[in-house]
Amino acid sequence: MFGIGGGEIVFILLVVLMLFGSDKVPEIARTLGKLMAQLKNATNDIKSEIQKGVDGVTEDSSFSDISSEITKAKENFIGNSTSTLTKIKKDIEEVTGPIKRQL
């Protein structure tokens, strides 16, 4: 736990006992327990809110609409670039004789 050995934990407990006294240690432990429980509940609430948000996004139909639009744009881009490249290749193959530089 946190890279602390058994002897170190005993030493820390001994120092806490000497600083706060035997009557305050149970009260401090209870307070720490309550704080840990509140922290755990808060993290669970945050996780559930995030999960609800994620579930709402995946169930939304706009997500599928966006995905289909992206697919259409991709297919259109690939189709246009392929036809353009084919046209350029055809133009290059049609050239006969010496090629003059155009300024």
**What residue ranges do the domains of the chain occupy?**
7-59, 61-91
Between residues 78 and 95, the one the model is more confident about: 78
Mean of the per-residue pLDDT values for the chain? 81
Q: Which pLDDT band holds residue 83 (cuts at 50, 70, 90)?
A: confident
* pLDDT score of 1 more than 70: no
Please state, in angstroms and rounded to a whole number, the distance separating the CA atoms of residues 87 and 95: 13
HEC secondary structure over the chain: CCCCCHHHHHHHHHHHHHHHCCCCHHHHHHHHHHHHHHHHHHHHHHHHHHHHHHHHHHHCHHHHHHHHHHHHHHHHHHHHHHHHHHHHHHHHHHCCCCCCCCC
Stretch 37-66: mean pLDDT: 81
Say whether pLDDT at 13 is over 80: yes
68-76 average pLDDT score:
84
Pick 97 or 36 by higher pLDDT: 36
Q: Could you tell me the pLDDT band of residue 47, with boundaries at 50, 70 and 90?
A: very high
What is the arithmetic mean of pLDDT over 12-20? 88
